[in-house]
Structure 1
Amino acid sequence: MTLLSYFVRSIFLIFWLIFFLNFFIPLTGYWSLTITCGGLLLSTLHLSEFFVVQRSPESIRPAGIADIILILLFGSNHWLPLLEKRDDNKSSVGSLTEDPPIDS
């Protein structure tokens, strides 16, 4: 993963931490409502993203509970590297050539 991917994941983790802490220790002013609405919107977006990715003709892999949680937390930042890895594996398999015959 790239440095940008790690940065985005850390931003998402910080946001989700603030979102869950907001339920127990509400923020002051309009921040409480903003964080709550943003978290609900983001979780809805990530859940719909999960269904779109799983219903695609070429699914990345069968989703387990860990994949579902990671997609809800990180969204496309979780499944895009998996998709790139799958495409790299497909292209490397197609590029293999047969060994030339050995003359003896």
Structure 2
Amino acid sequence: MAVSVLSVKVLQNPAPYTAAMSFEIEYEASQNLNSDLVWRLVYVGSADSDRYDQELENVEVGPVTQGNFKFVLEANPPNPALIPSDDIVGVTVVLLTCSYRGNEFIRPQP
């Protein structure tokens, strides 16, 4: 694998729901890459449908050269008006993904 995620730390935890989110991401590249990595942070607004998902941040990181790297991904909080009223309180997910050349390679599995 050309890129390995070494750690993801949630900064400012705990925080109010209305606060911006910050994650410190550390990764290792085993080789130079020709294109940027695309990191996405998605708030899942409902377990019943992805139409309520909110992309909170989408950032390209590069150029990627061989070595270890660390950066902070910051995002605004989700918009509560876009979340179904039955799902506004309860269990939710903030999903961090990473893609290279349109191919997603980091995504937690259920």
- TM-score, normalised to structure 1, is 0.26
User: Which protein has the bigger helix share?
Assistant: 1
User: Which protein has the bigger strand share?
Assistant: 2
**Structure of larger gyration radius:** 1
- TM-score, normalised to structure 2, is 0.26
